[in-house]
Amino acid sequence: MAGRRERKTFTERNLLIILVVMWVFLAIATGGNFSSWANITNLIRQSSINGVVAIGMTLIIITGGIDLSVGSIVGLSGMVFAIFTSTRGEFQFPTIVGILLALGISALIGLVNAVAVHDGKVPAFIATLGMMTLVRGVVMYISSGRMVTAVPLEYRRFAVLEFLGIPALAWTWIILAAFMMLVLKYTKFGRNLYAIGSNEEAARLSGINIRLNMYSFYIVAALFSAIAGLMLGTRMAAGVPTGGDGYELDAIASVVIGGASLSGGVGTVLGTALGALIIQTIRNGGNLLGVDPFIMQIVIGAIIILAVFFDQFIKSRKKGEGLKKLFKRA
């Protein structure tokens, strides 16, 4: 456990250093345009939606799984809210009812994912890939492939609200991230998450209810995607049928760059948040410098590959050290 904590601190510290270096370089390279308060707040606002999705993805990857349905849930959440609250629609429910419906339906999808993965023994990649396609089809069907507008005014206003000069969307991300950091560090939920991700059989033998916890992890991940969908909807002032498309890839990238292991048992919300900021910094800085966006995509892909390679290198080195100790004892 001590080694794992040291690795977390090492990774987060290095990510913070990388982020600061990137910001200083871009501030100089863009003649101060990057470091303007307007651009920094815009960068954080752009990072916030993917950042919230990535919090949920962090939980799933720590278990050793993956959830490809998160992007589709983002789209479904925003669309469900818009359909049930639009002043031009047939329902015209109050805002709070629309929010609860979006969260409830998304939680149900998370539960189905958990049942398929844990009880059905379907590989997480396959189960959530199928759910991703299914949910996206549902979104297209219920919206007829068109945007749903005329959402409540208070909902639209949330996207432009600020507190202490920081957008409300960014505050939403910051508060949720801080809350989950505390949950993972100080609660049974967090301890069980890391125990199951490190060694599921050992966790079961120690008395942890694997089924209940896996259900909880996937439901919570879906709820974070639902919240991100509502955040996207307020920013777009509408339900968008293609909303959340590709968000699962950005979420996975944020988690992996943030130091989580795809094998499970390792990962932090802070690392994921820094990973999300690094990805958005590359895009934002590239845009200001006039770099081709396809080149930016190549750069982000290369960074993900390097992050996974580094994780595998660390694990292989630890295995080698373990074998050396074993031979010495023999």
How do the domains of the chain map onto residue ranges? 47-315
Other beta carbons within 10 angstroms of residue 292's beta carbon come to 9
Residue 135 has pLDDT above 50, yes or no: yes
* pLDDT bracket for residue 323 (50, 70, 90): very low
The pTM of the full predicted model, rounded to 2 decimals, is 0.91
In the prediction, which pLDDT does 325 show?
A: 53
Q: What does the DSSP assignment read for 272-311?
A: HHHHHHHHHHHHHHHHHHT--HHHHHHHHHHHHHHHHHHH
Model confidence pLDDT, tens digit, residues 230-263: 999 999 999 999 999 999 999 999 999 998 988 8
Round to whole Å and give the CA distance between 131 and 168: 31
Residue 209 has pLDDT above 90, yes or no: yes
